[in-house]
């Protein structure tokens, strides 16, 4: 789906054409944020847990090399095959190679944002491989031929009616049916067939444990287990930052992950994989795809602490009112906006500006990523790299010239206010984006400075 | 403690200077009523935030230098804007004076936090007999910790609320979303016009739903944005900076709207 990119502001404008839909989208995600608040506030040690998770992840970032090597060694001892992929293309080729080697043309896949990042489905499909997403939300967006709009809730942008229509078209459910149980049952039967007949299953990895060589996949639907246990070959794709040092650290992360994501105490399934069952092959693909570069950026490296809970999206007032697709990146929202420029500064230059820097994201983040500070820092990098429109640059430069010179500033202010008073249409017109839906402030005759000089200096 | 011997520099952000002189006046009068000796350097312009938040921090050097030169000899610098104060606290840097810059940054205070943490006033003589909603500016709240944020599992507190509670007749309303951003966001308000306006509309709706007559806050930039939306829909609800409310001595109050 390599469509031309529509910038965040323009995509948001389209999204906002139907205000009642925006209200619904906002309320739906705010509800998830509230569930997160409620469940996090039931744990008196919540802030300590966040601190612990952050500390462990900081350790991981500084010991990435040794942890990964140790993980590889242990995993190999357990009979798992380890592959290293420098980028998305290598990852996709490895998956294709494994499938070809086993003469497999069809595969089930549980949720993996990494494969979204690598555009794997598209690649495999071009190479004649059919991939079926088995996470319900993922399957829904796959049937619609669109990317997920949220990393945890892939189809959160859709209403029951949308799903009913989609299932009617693809799964033969009754026209107009919107009952969630009925629709879910139809999806269940549809997927059951896929699970039973596929010889290969791909899963993501939430946590890879350096000490044991094992890994954990968290799902609410059990679809990762179902796929992996029924298949002859289990491929697990992981970004290299998924590593944690010890098994005991899972106690910190699993408690934080689901509470932050949906407010659940823990995901329904936390599936621990350590070695292939008899007759099965297990492969782990450890992917870099820009992560080394990000790790080398002092201001941005700790974005790699992310455990993909989606809390920053649910809390983001901009995300809630612009939708995940407006971010044109596999990972949307605030965290996506600090990850995406690392992958492509030209394509993603708009994303760090799609924020008011309100700071809510950094404070819901279970691993304490300073997301809003990084948004600010990416803006500086993008401007210096020439990735912002020239018109903006000219405007800001003019502003800076005025504000650098007190007399020029005073004169411009007086002139501006006088223009606004005498010929208001100079600013109250369609060319002024402020005026489109907001009135301009009433321009006073006197500035505060004028008042001060007249009243206090006379 | 007697603060009259201290030199308090008043920093009035550019847009307040130009569009809301009454907020500057209220801030000045309030500080003077509370016993401060206030000086207003006439050549001040802007904290530099509009450039910096747009990615042009490198164009704020002259603003930084100007600010430093004007306020370096003040014991405290006080401003009625959490956002501008946070910017200065986080970013002000005069290249040849790195250490002095750091020291200056620590002396900059937002008005509410200055009254609460430095002046530590017990009572304020003010009356404002209206139903008021408090809009927490994000930079004041999450940046300067003027109040506890809803994201954290931590003890609640609110410096603006404790000041507003001292105001006679003021009825503070509860909001559905205590600390949702209003969507102003500096240049965001025009570059992301659609989302900015929607956020502002939702913020205003929360106040109206709870029957606010006034929306107050310690950041005029949020209020400027909310006022623009209120006026466009011909709403009776007005915005008022917290300094104006705290400075509203009994005699200056107009009769309440019946």
The candidate with the shortest Cα–Cα distance to A312, out of A327, A332, A295, A294, is A332
How far apart, in whole angstroms, are the C-alpha atoms of residue A434 and residue A415? 19
Residue A364 lies in a domain: no
Predicted model pTM = 0.96
What count of Cα atoms within 13 Å lies in the side-chain half-sphere of residue B171? 10
Token pair 């020029």 in the structure block, residue: A408
* Domain definitions of chain B by residue range: 7-118, 122-252
**What tokens does A52 get?**
């612990």
Instruction: Choose among A19, A356, A456: nearest Cβ to B188.
Output: A356
* B80 in reach of chain A (CB within 8 A): no
Residue of B nearest to A17 (CA): B194
Mode of pairing for the β-strands spanning A215-219 and A207-209: antiparallel
Q: What is the CA radius of gyration of chain B?
A: 18
* B51 in reach of chain A (CB within 8 A): yes
Name the minimum distance, in Å, from the CA of A437 to any CA of chain B: 7
pLDDT number for residue A259: 98
* A411 in reach of chain B (CB within 8 A): no
Q: Which residues of B touch A353 (CB under 8 A)?
A: 54-55, 188, 191-192
Token pair 């910096």 in the structure block, residue: B52
Q: What is the DSSP letter of A268?
A: S
Residue A433 lies in a domain: yes
Alpha carbon distances (Å) from B170 to B178, B209, B248, B250: 18, 18, 11, 12
Residue A5 lies in a domain: no
pLDDT number for residue B1: 61
Q: Which residues of B touch A457 (CB under 8 A)?
A: 42
Name the minimum distance, in Å, from the CA of A259 to any CA of chain B: 13
Residue A15 lies in a domain: no
The candidate with the shortest Cα–Cα distance to B131, out of B170, B83, B82, B89, is B170
Asked if B232 contacts A438 with a C-beta cutoff of 8 angstroms, the reply is yes
Residue A169 lies in a domain: yes
Instruction: Choose among A357, A397, A413: nearest Cβ to B59.
Output: A397
Asked if A337 contacts A312 with a C-beta cutoff of 8 angstroms, the reply is no
Asked if A349 contacts A383 with a C-beta cutoff of 8 angstroms, the reply is no
* A289 in reach of chain B (CB within 8 A): no
A vs B: CB pairs below 8 A: 211
CATH number for the domain running over B122-252: 3.40.50.11810
Q: Which residues of B touch A440 (CB under 8 A)?
A: 228
For B203-219, write each residue's pLDDT tens digit: 999 999 999 999 999 99
**What tokens does A23 get?**
């209200």
* A443 in reach of chain B (CB within 8 A): yes
Question: What ipTM describes this predicted complex?
Answer: 0.95
**What tokens does A48 get?**
């300590």
The candidate with the shortest Cα–Cα distance to A310, out of A19, A6, A35, is A35
Determine how many CB atoms are found less than 10 A away from the CB of residue A278.
5
Asked if B207 contacts B178 with a C-beta cutoff of 8 angstroms, the reply is no
DSSP B112-126: HHIIIIII--S----
How far apart, in whole angstroms, are the C-alpha atoms of residue A295 and residue A302? 8
Instruction: Choose among B45, B150, B183: nearest Cβ to A317.
Output: B183
Instruction: Choose among A23, A380, A448: nearest Cβ to B21.
Output: A448
Instruction: Choose among B12, B19, B151: nearest Cβ to A360.
Output: B151
How far apart, in whole angstroms, are the C-alpha atoms of residue A132 and residue A121? 9
| A426-435, B95-104, B245-254: least confidently modelled range | B245-254
- Note down the domain range covering A113: 43-289
Q: Which residues of A touch B186 (CB under 8 A)?
A: 356-357
Alpha carbon distances (Å) from A256 to A260, A307, A346: 6, 9, 34
Name the minimum distance, in Å, from the CA of A220 to any CA of chain B: 24
In this structure, is the dihedral angle defined by the CA atoms of residues A390, A392, A394 and A396, taken in order, positive or negative? Answer: negative
Residue A159 lies in a domain: yes
The residues pairing with A202 across neighbouring beta strands, listed in sequence order, are A109, A235
Q: What is the DSSP letter of A270?
A: E
B257 — pLDDT class (breaks 50, 70, 90): very low
Q: Is the pLDDT of residue B250 over 60?
A: no
Name the minimum distance, in Å, from the CA of A215 to any CA of chain B: 30
For B33-92, write each residue's pLDDT tens digit: 999 999 999 999 999 999 999 999 999 999 999 999 999 999 999 999 999 999 999 999
* B237 in reach of chain A (CB within 8 A): no
How far apart, in whole angstroms, are the C-alpha atoms of residue A203 and residue A112? 6
Kindly give, in sequence order, each residue whose CB lies less than 8 Å from that of residue B115, ignoring residues fewer than 6 positions away. Answer: B30, B34, B121, B163, B246
Decide if A353 and B188 are in contact by the 8 Å CB cutoff: yes
Instruction: Choose among B12, B19, B202: nearest Cβ to A444.
Output: B19
Number of domains composing chain A: 2
Q: Which residues of B touch A399 (CB under 8 A)?
A: 50-51
The candidate with the shortest Cα–Cα distance to B207, out of B106, B133, B100, is B133
> Which among A264, A289, A314 is the end of a domain?
A289
> Which among A289, A317, A345 is the end of a domain?
A289
What does the pLDDT profile of chain A (458 residues) look like in tens digits? 445 789 999 999 999 999 999 999 999 999 999 999 999 999 999 999 999 999 999 999 999 999 999 999 999 999 999 999 999 999 999 999 999 999 999 999 999 999 999 999 999 999 999 999 999 999 999 999 999 999 999 999 999 999 999 999 999 999 999 999 999 999 999 999 999 999 999 999 999 999 999 999 999 999 999 999 999 999 999 999 999 999 999 999 999 999 999 999 999 999 999 999 999 999 999 999 999 999 999 999 999 999 999 999 999 999 999 999 999 999 999 999 999 999 999 999 999 999 999 999 999 999 999 999 999 999 999 999 999 999 899 999 999 999 999 999 999 999 999 999 999 888 888 889 999 999 999 999 999 999 999 998 86
DSSP A54-70: HHHHHHHHHTHHHHHHH
> Which domain CATH number covers A222?
3.40.50.10420
Determine how many CB atoms are found less than 10 A away from the CB of residue A34.
14
* B209 in reach of chain A (CB within 8 A): no
> Which among A289, A321, A342 is the end of a domain?
A289
């Amino acid at each position: 789906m390599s469509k031309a990119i529509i910038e965040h502001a323009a995509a948001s404008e389209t999204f906002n054409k139907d205000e009642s839909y925006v209200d619904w989208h906002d309320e739906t995600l705010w509800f998830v944020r509230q569930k997160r608040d409620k469940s996090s506030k039931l744990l008196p040690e919540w802030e300590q847990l966040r601190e612990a998770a952050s500390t462990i992840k900081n350790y991981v970032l500084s010991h990435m090399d040794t942890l990964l090597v140790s993980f590889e060694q242990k995993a190999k001892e357990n009979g798992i095959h380890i592959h290293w992929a420098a980028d998305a293309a290598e990852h996709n080729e490895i998956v294709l190679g494994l499938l070809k080697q086993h003469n497999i043309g069809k595969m089930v896949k549980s949720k993996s944002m990494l494969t979204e990042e690598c555009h794997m489905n598209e690649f495999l499909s071009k190479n004649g491989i059919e991939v079926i997403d088995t996470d319900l939300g993922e399957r829904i967006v796959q049937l619609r031929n669109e990317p997920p709009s949220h990393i945890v809730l892939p189809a959160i942008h859709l209403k029951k009616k949308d799903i009913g229509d989609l299932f009617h078209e693809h799964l033969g459910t009754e026209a107009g049916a919107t009952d969630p149980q009925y629709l879910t049952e139809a999806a269940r039967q549809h997927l059951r067939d896929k699970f039973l007949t596929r010889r290969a299953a791909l899963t993501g990895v939430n946590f890879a444990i350096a000490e044991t060589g094992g890994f954990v996949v968290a799902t609410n639907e059990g679809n990762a287990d179902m796929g992996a246990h029924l298949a002859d070959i289990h491929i697990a794709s992981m970004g290299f930052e998924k590593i944690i040092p010890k098994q005991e650290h899972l106690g910190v992360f699993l408690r934080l992950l689901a509470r932050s994501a949906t407010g659940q105490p823990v995901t329904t399934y936390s599936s621990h994989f350590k070695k292939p069952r008899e007759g099965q092959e297990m492969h782990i693909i450890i992917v870099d795809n820009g992560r080394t570069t990000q790790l080398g950026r002092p201001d941005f490296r700790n974005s790699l602490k992310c455990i993909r809970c989606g809390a920053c999206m649910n809390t983001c007032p901009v995300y809630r009112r612009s939708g995940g697709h407006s971010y044109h990146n596999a990972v949307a929202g605030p965290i996506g906006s600090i990850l995406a420029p690392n992958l492509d500064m030209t394509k993603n230059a708009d994303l760090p500006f799609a924020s008011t820097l309100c700071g809510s994201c950094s404070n819901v983040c279970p691993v304490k990523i300073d997301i809003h500070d990084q948004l600010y820092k990416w803006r500086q990098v993008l401007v210096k790299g020439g990735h912002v429109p020239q018109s903006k640059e000219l405007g800001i430069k003019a502003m800076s010239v005025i504000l650098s010179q007190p007399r020029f500033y005073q004169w411009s202010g007086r002139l501006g206010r006088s223009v606004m008073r005498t010929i208001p249409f100079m600013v109250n017109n369609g060319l002024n984006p402020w005026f489109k839906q907001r009135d301009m402030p009433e321009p006073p005759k006197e500035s505060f400075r004028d008042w001060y000089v007249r009243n206090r200096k006379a | 403690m007697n603060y009259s011997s201290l030199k308090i520099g008043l920093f009035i952000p550019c847009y307040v200077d130009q569009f809301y002189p009454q907020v500057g006046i209220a801030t000045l009068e309030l500080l003077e009523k509370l016993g401060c000796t206030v000086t207003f350097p006439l050549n001040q312009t802007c904290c530099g935030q509009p450039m910096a938040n747009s990615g042009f921090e490198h164009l704020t050097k002259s603003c930084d230098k100007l600010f430093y030169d004007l306020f370096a000899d003040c014991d405290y610098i006080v401003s009625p804007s959490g956002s501008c104060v946070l910017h200065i606290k986080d970013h002000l840097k005069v290249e040849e004076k790195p250490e002095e810059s750091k020291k200056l940054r620590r002396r900059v205070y937002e008005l509410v936090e200055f009254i609460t943490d430095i002046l530590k006033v017990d009572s304020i003589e003010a009356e404002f007999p209206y139903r008021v909603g408090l809009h927490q500016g994000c930079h004041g709240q999450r940046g300067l910790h003027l109040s506890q944020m809803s994201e954290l599992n931590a003890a609640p507190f609110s410096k603006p609320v404790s000041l507003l509670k001292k105001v006679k007749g003021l009825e503070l309303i509860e909001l559905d979303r205590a600390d949702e951003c209003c969507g102003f966001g500096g240049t965001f308000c025009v570059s992301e016009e659609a989302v900015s306006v929607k956020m502002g509309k939702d913020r205003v709706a929360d106040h109206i739903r709870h029957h606010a007559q006034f929306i107050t806050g310690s950041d005029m930039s949020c209020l400027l944005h909310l006022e623009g939306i209120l006026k466009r829909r011909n709403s009776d609800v007005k915005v008022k900076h917290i300094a104006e409310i705290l400075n509203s001595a009994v005699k200056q109050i107009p009769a309440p709207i019946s």
